[in-house]
Amino acid sequence: MSFDGFVTRAVVKELRETLSNGRINKVYQPFETDLLLSIRANRKNVQLYISTSANFSRIHLTNERYPNPIQPPMFCMLVRKHIEGSIVKNIKQIELDRIIHIELQARDELGDLISKTLVVEIMGRHSNLILLDTERNIIIDSIKHLPPSLNSYRTVLPGREYVSPPSQNKANPLEADRETVLKKVDFNQGKIDQQLVTSFAGLSPIVSKEIVHRAGFVTKDSLPQTFLEAMKLFRNNTYEPEIVRSKHREAFSVMSLTHMDGGKIKFDTVSSMLDRFYFGKAERDRIKQQASDLEKRLSNEMKKNKRKLKKLEKTLHDTEKAEQYQLYGELLTAHMHEIKRGQSQVAVDNYYNPGEKVKITLDPVKTPAENAQAYYQKYTKAKNAVSIVKRQIEETKENIAYFELLLTQMEKATLEDVAEIREELEDEGIIKRKRRKEKKKVDKPKPETYESSEGVPILVGKNNKQNEYLTMKLARKSDTWLHAKDIPGSHVVIRGNQFGEETLYEAAVLAAYFSKAKQSSNVPIDYTEVRYVKKPRGAKPGFVTYSNQKTMYVTPSEDLVLKLRP
């Protein structure tokens, strides 16, 4: 896991500098496992995000916007009661573990000072957030309860004494010397990086691999020296937050990862690094859990239509024999006097190509005239089928493109987008409509709004309902419309016609990013005025045709997308 003891140490240093003596103004619980604290510190309002999710547990400052449920969960209301208005007195890391204590101080109803502690335990699926009565060390409540039946070592329930997670009994690398390193590592055993992780607290596999990589040819001299140099950087709080993205992997660290190939993004603060790394990932995980049935259905519909397309193409290939059936009927009619009942095959002269003999399969039960008539019937049937099959092939191709578009939209959909996609599929009769209580008037779709570096609004549809509303109703005829060329993706509209090349380029990047070609380079983007975009009668939601377009090529950039967010 990238969020190791040293990332925790760097986060704690940053939080202590930013939040000390700050006042907690608001507490939100945007999701079941996450808490968001709004804190006024150093004359600024900052947000502290704490997540105990199984896959994305973390703590850091954030600039992201998170939903605020109308009805807050019970844990949120309890935490509000105990810590809203309290002052952050201290933030500390327990040894080099991923455990942080946020010590708070407030006054009770009588005006007496009371102390509370928020304990953040970042331990994968065992992560937790616990509110303590500091003086008595008693648990007030926790975001996850842990009864004795699940853990014999400690119980995490309201009213119980707080017991820290069991110690791993590893050596503190910040206090290690050369002899300690040599004592902990068996050079004959190999896998030096794994030995370092097993022996020293706070080390993740990625940091230990970096240390071994920097040591070069690992010897009893190079390894201890490199290890101690790295620990000196950490001891002096010298951090280099960066994200490394390779084709198959993405990782972050507070030390430069020279052993990893790929694009490197450096950050001024560890929180900005974590905020960026986890951008969209946790939400995608939640959406995947809640929309797995929908995604599976779309995937199955896609496969079903692809199988249907293969069968139709085979049928079309068979119908192309229509002319051959006509020829057989004509030749049998012309040579009927040469054919006798009971024959299973006959070879006759082809008068269209003198000198050529044509072998024709016969039904021995039928008369020569009946065999000729049978081929004429096959000819008529095949000829009539061609237009039907071609139309079915076009419809099936449209269905495949439609489901491909929906699957692309699901990749970047918010929970609200998923609800709109589900509603669209219900309207199309693809999935059964769930019985719901009558709701108030449905709000209009809300395409996402970005702002170009020239200050021009750029609107992006995130699903077909938004695409159709944006292009057919919200956009003006003189606005500029963009879409990835022949690729499933979002409709993008530049408001007005007063913009420069920079805005056009940025809108094209958005169109490429919110398309199936997000991971590609040099993505072709068509653009034209909205007046030239039409919706064919009977077309599926979001499908349009357009003309008078020009094409430009851009490479999707998440950095630019984040920069353009309002």
CB count within 10 Å of CB 369 equals 13
User: What was the pLDDT predicted at 435?
Assistant: 58
Amino acid at 262: G
The answer, yes or no, to whether residue 420 has pLDDT greater than 70, is yes
Helices 368-411 and 415-427 pack at an angle, to 10 degrees, of: 160
Q: Which pLDDT score, from 0 to 100, does residue 437 have? A: 47
For residue 67, is pLDDT > 70?
yes
Quick check: 289 pLDDT over 80?
Answer: no
Domain with CATH 1.10.287 in the chain: 293-409
| Higher pLDDT among residues 467 and 558, named by residue | 467
> Is residue 55 a contact partner of residue 68, using CB atoms and an 8 Å limit?
no
Determine contact, residues 195/186, Cβ cutoff 8 Å. Answer: yes
- Residue 90: phi and psi, rounded to 5, are -165, 150
User: How many Å apart are CA 462 and CA 456, to the nearest integer?
Assistant: 19
Of 29-38, 304-313, 401-410, give the lowest mean pLDDT range. Answer: 401-410
Give the lowest-confidence range in 186-200, 409-423, 447-461. 409-423
Stretch(es) of the chain classified as CATH 1.10.8.50: 173-285
Q: Which pLDDT score, from 0 to 100, does residue 442 have? A: 57
Kindly report each contact of residues 239-248 with a partner whose C-beta sits within 8 Å and lies 24 or more positions away, as own/partner: 239/10, 239/270, 240/266, 241/10, 241/266, 241/267, 241/268, 241/269, 241/270, 241/272, 241/273, 242/266, 242/267, 242/273, 243/267, 243/273, 243/276, 243/277
CA 39 to chain CA mean position, Å: 30
Mean pLDDT of the chain: 90
- The SS3 assignment for 455 reads coil
Give the mean pLDDT of 260-267. 89
Q: Where in the sequence of the chain do the CATH 2.30.310.10 domains occur?
A: 5-142
Higher-scoring residue by pLDDT: 59, 150: 59
Mean pLDDT for 228-239 is 95
**Predicted confidence band at 436 (pLDDT cuts at 50, 70, 90)?**
low
The mean per-residue pLDDT over the stretch 110-123 comes to 92
CATH fold of the domain at 5-142: ibrinogen binding protein from staphylococcus aureus fold (2.30.310)
CA distance 389 to 395: 10
Residue 60's pLDDT band (cuts 50, 70, 90): very high
pLDDT of residue 282: 74
Residue 92: pLDDT band (50, 70, 90) is: very high
User: 523, exposed or middle or buried, with CB in 10 Å at 0-12, 13-18, 19+?
Assistant: buried
- Helix (H/G/I), strand (E/B), else coil: 168: coil
pLDDT of amino acid 322:
78
As assigned by CATH, the class of the 293-409 domain is mainly alpha
173-285: CATH class? mainly alpha
**Whether 200 contacts 211, CB under 8 Å:** no
**Residue 232: per-residue pLDDT:** 95
For residue 441, the model assigns a pLDDT of 53
pLDDT of residue 13: 97
> Does 274 score more than 50 pLDDT?
yes
Q: What pLDDT digit, counting tens, does each position of 174-196 carry?
A: 999 999 999 999 998 889 999 99
Q: Is residue 450 packed enough to be buried (19+ CB in 10 Å), middle (13-18) or exposed (0-12)?
A: buried
Q: Name the more confident of 324 and 195.
A: 195
Which tens digits make up the pLDDT trace of 371-418? 999 999 988 888 887 778 888 998 899 889 888 888 888 877 777 788
Note the pTM of the prediction, 2 decimals. 0.67
Instruction: State yes or no: pLDDT of 353 exceeds 50.
Output: yes
Give the pLDDT confidence of 539-552 residue by residue, as tens digits: 888 889 999 999 99
What is residue 351's predicted lDDT score, i.e. its pLDDT?
Answer: 85
d(CA 174, CA 183): 16
Residue 565 pLDDT class (50, 70, 90 cuts)? confident
